[in-house]
Amino acid sequence: MRIGVVSDVHANIVALETVLAAMGEVDVLWVLGDSVGYGPRPNECVELLRAGPHLAVAGNHEWAAIGKMSTREFNPWAARAAEWTRTELTPEIVAYLDALPTRALDGGATLVHGSPRDPIWEYVLDTDTAGENFEHFETRFCFFGHSHIPSFFRLGPDGVWGARADADEMVELGDERHRWMLNPGSVGQPRDDDPRASYMLLDLERWTATWRRVAYDIAATQDQMRKARLPERLIERLEHGW
C-alpha cells in the first residue's frame, strides 16, 4: 500500500500538478487541509485532489473561505485572499468543503490539519506541544499540516523527540513502541526557506515515510496571482519559501 500525503496546497495548481506527477501512482491520497486560500486556483485544486481515491480533512482556510470561521485572526493578506477565494468558489465546491470533517481515521492513522487537540487552529512546532498532543489521538500515527514545515515527532520509551525533515529523508515506522506525528510540509506555500513543493510518501509494506521536494514553475503561479490581484506579499513569498 502506497499512500501520498499532501497538505497546504493553498490553491497553487502549478505546484499541485507538479507534485502529483512526481509522486506517481498511489493507492490513496491523504489531504490534510488548506487546499484553498492564498493562491489563484482554489476550485481547480479541490477538483484535482478529489479526482481519485482520497481522504481529506478541513483546515482553517477552508473554513474561512466558506464563512465557517471569521478572518479576524488572519493577517491582513491572508484575510484578503480568503475574501477573494470566497468569491471564486463554485457552489458545488463550497458544499464539498463544508462537508469535510476536521478529523479523519484510516486504519492506524488520524488525519488533522492543525493538531489532534485543536484540528483547525493549533500549530505543532515543538516537542512540548507535540508531547501534549499525543494524548489527543488514539492511533499510532497522526498526520498533520498547518505549519508548512516538513517535520516529525516521535513518542517512545525515551520520551518525545522531534526534528525537521530534509528532502528525501526517510523514517522507519515499524517499531510498535513508537507513536508518531508527521507533517508532510506544504505543497503550495513552503515556509522552511526551501521554495520547492513538499510532500510525503508512505509505504505500508516497508513501514517507511519519505519526504520529497520538487521544483515547480513558481513564476507561472505568481503570474496567475497577479492576474487575480492577490496581495503582492503573498506572491513574493513563494520564491523565497517563507
Binding site for Zn ion (CB under 5 A): 8, 34
Nearer Cβ to Zn ion (8/122): 8
Q: Quick one: how far is CA 1 from the chain centroid?
A: 21
Which grid coordinates belong to 30? 491523504
Nearer Cβ to Zn ion (8/62): 8
Minimum Å distance from CB 10 to Zn ion? 6
Helix (H) or strand (E) holding 4: strand 2-6
Minimum Å distance from CB 188 to Zn ion? 8
Minimum Å distance from CB 38 to Zn ion? 7
DSSP state of 178: -
Minimum Å distance from CB 37 to Zn ion? 7
| Phi and psi at residue 136, to the nearest 5° | -105, 10
Minimum Å distance from CB 159 to Zn ion? 29
Nearer Cβ to Zn ion (113/154): 113
Nearer Cβ to Zn ion (38/141): 38
Other Cβ atoms less than 10 A from the Cβ of 202: the count is 24
Nearer Cβ to Zn ion (154/191): 191
- The residue number whose beta carbon is nearest to Zn ion equals 34
CA distance 180 to 109: 9
Q: For residues 140 and 180, is the Cβ–Cβ distance under 8 A?
A: yes
Other Cβ atoms less than 10 A from the Cβ of 46: the count is 25
Q: For residues 13 and 189, is the Cβ–Cβ distance under 8 A?
A: no
